[in-house]
Structure 1
Amino acid sequence: MRVATGGCQCGTVRYSVRLMDDEAYLCHCRMCQRATGGVSIAFTLVEVAAVTWTTREPERYRSSPFAQRGFCARCGTPMTYESDGHDMMDLTVGSFDDPSAFRPVAHSGVESWHPQWLDTRGLPTQRTDENERIANRWIETLGRLPH
């Protein structure tokens, strides 16, 4: 067991969680696609009792008759998927301070997946600091690139 921390983009919602393992999964269902604006979302399943909201809890949106999704009302970061009456919930892998510690072990909602997005290793790559348009915006605004 290890303790991990995370939060939203703006820092309004922060949490710590006791993790039992490093397993995660990708959900491709249409609800997750619409909730995130992406083709899938990475989740890790945790015990509700293992999560401590250290600043404030996320706002929640009832996304179906049996579940709600937690998000930051200030910056919009998606953070949870919570089924009513269960002692387990999903936290978004991207909201962890160190998402690299997780490993994908399954796909869910595959009736809506887009196979062309599953293996993109052959596509050209570029670091953010190598993208002149974006790098220049950071430098103009902050005087430096973000960490």
Structure 2
Amino acid sequence: MGYELKTKETDNSVIEFIETVESPKKREDAYRLLEIFTETTGYEAKMWGPSIIGFGSYHYKYPTGHEGDFMLVGFSPRKAKISLYFATGDSKREELLQKFGKHTTGKACVYINKVADIDVEVLKDLISQSVTFLQEMYPSQ
């Protein structure tokens, strides 16, 4: 049996999902991020799994033979913090994060408390950089 990636693109409504975000402040931030990510990527927002809003997608194939599709970039307005998803293998990411503002990094995500804590221009650079990096690394067939 092959490995199944839990996070898949769904047809659920992004707006309906944002409307379920309890905190009005976080909901406002989610709409702001929706705007920034849509504008910067040129892609329509799609739900990935139950709680991630993703933009674009790419097909990856690992040397192990495992392959699948995943979003290029995305975000998730979670209860505690907002998770931002960018490409992880990119060397420019660290450089940009130094100018990004208040954040913490996890294995695959960058966490922020609110959009007001970060530099939106740097966010746009992080988004563009991730998209370029992934499209070069995994060119569409």
Quickly name the TM-score band, shorter chain normalised: under 0.3
Larger radius of gyration: 1
Q: Give the strand-richer structure, 1 or 2.
A: 1
Q: Pick 1 or 2: higher relative contact order, CA cutoff 8 A, min separation 6.
A: 1
TM-score by length of 2: 0.23
TM-score by length of 1: 0.22
Q: Give the helix-richer structure, 1 or 2.
A: 2
